[in-house]
Structures are given as structure tokens and as C-alpha cells.
Amino acid sequence: MRISKDIKYKCEQKEILNKILNEIGIMKDKLIISRNELETDKFKEIMNNNYEKIRIYYKITNWNSVKRGMEKELNILKNICRYNGIIIDKIQRKKTVEDKRINHVLYKFNIPEELNIN
């Protein structure tokens, strides 16, 4: 019988999660990040540098976001978080500046205490 990845690689999965969250600036005292920060080349580079490890340690074949091209990195981050029990709330703020509507999107990471994120 084959052992599933979530049992076999549990420690490696948590290490990858911690590494990615630390690199994008999510910590116990900073749980909110703007969408603009997640659309930068730095974020895409972080996700692409960790993609091979993500592919090895997570069962990503079931994730439609990997198959789609748009916002692939952000969707992979969301899937990793969801897989580890982290709920991400999307907060939208709309305001009008000089007759232009501006959408500002924030993501709040609700991290369970048992994950021990730095």
C-alpha cells in the first residue's frame, strides 16, 4: 500500500509553508498583506523557486490553479494554506479618488495556533 504525501511529507510541507510565509512577510504579528505585494516579481520568484519542492511534497495534481496560467503563484499559495488549515479572508476596500474608483484588496491569514508560524 502506498503512503499518501500528506502523511509521508508532513514535516517537509510545514517547512515549505513556513519558508514561503516568512519570505512574503507573514508572521504571527503581521497577518495581513495587500494583493499588490502578491503581484510583484519578488513574490513570483519566491513561488517559482519553491515550485519543485511544492510539486514533490504536495499533491498538486488535484489543484486546478496549477493547470490554469492566470495568477498561478497566488493560487498555489492559497492551496498550500488551505491544505494546512489556514483560512485566507479577502478584504476589499473601494474608494473614489478624483472620480476614479480604486479597489484595494487585502488578504488576512487566519493561522491556527498548532502550526507555530514564526
What are 96-114's pLDDT values in tens digits?
878 888 888 999 999 998 8
As a dihedral over the C-alpha atoms of residue 43, residue 48, residue 53, residue 59, rounded to 10 degrees, the angle is 90
Backbone angles phi, psi at 71, to 5 degrees: 50, 35
pLDDT confidence of 71, banded at 50, 70, 90?
A: confident
What CA–CA distances, in Å, run from 80 to 10, 63, 93?
12, 10, 25
Distance separating alpha carbons of residues 84 and 67, to the nearest angstrom: 21
pLDDT tens readout for residues 13-53:
999 999 999 999 998 889 999 999 998 999 999 999 999 99
Count of positions (residues) in the chain: 118
